Amino acid sequence: MRERIEKFFNDFEKAIKNLKTATEVAEDDLSIDGTIKRFELCYELAWKLMKEYLADLGIIVRSPREAFKQAFINDLIENEEAWFGMIEDRNLLVHTYTHEQSREIFERIKGEHVEELEKFYKIIKQKMADNEV
């Protein structure tokens, strides 16, 4: 197993647990904003973990979109479109400054994105346990 994959996995594991907890307890603006930041971190770690895992398979990707396409092809994720939705939401969060839109995205984080991130976590954890990296 490559050391970089393990490092990204460990960081991602902590990030997904923190994100899940944050979505469960966020109620006020400060905690919702913190949850949004946790999502951004989780998203970045997920795609970088995918990138490293895929590189270990000999598949080079240079963007999240490429990573998600290849992750779907290689059975790391189940719903490619959901991950493309994460790209859109992450980009909106970085470039949008409206309170209303950030709250709409928070609801998608809570209702959709956490579930997809958790599915990926379980799949990659199993692959690592099976020494497929």
* Per-residue pLDDT at 7 exceeds 60: yes
What is the CB-side half-sphere exposure of residue 131 using CA atoms within 13 A? Answer: 0
133 with 2: CB under 8 angstroms?
yes
Alpha helices (H) along the chain: 3-25, 29-56, 64-73, 80-95, 99-108, 114-129
Neighbours of 1 (CB within 10 A): 11
Look at the block and give the residue holding tokens 């490092």. Answer: 7
For range 105-132, the mean pLDDT: 94
Tokens of 119: 């599915």
CATH code for the part of the protein at 3-129: 1.20.120.330
Domain limits of the chain? 3-129
Predicted TM-score (pTM) of this structure? 0.93
35 with 24: CB under 8 angstroms?
no
pLDDT tens-place string over residues 39-87: 999 999 999 999 999 999 999 999 999 999 999 999 999 999 999 999 9
Torsion of CA 70, 73, 75, 76, to 10 degrees: 20
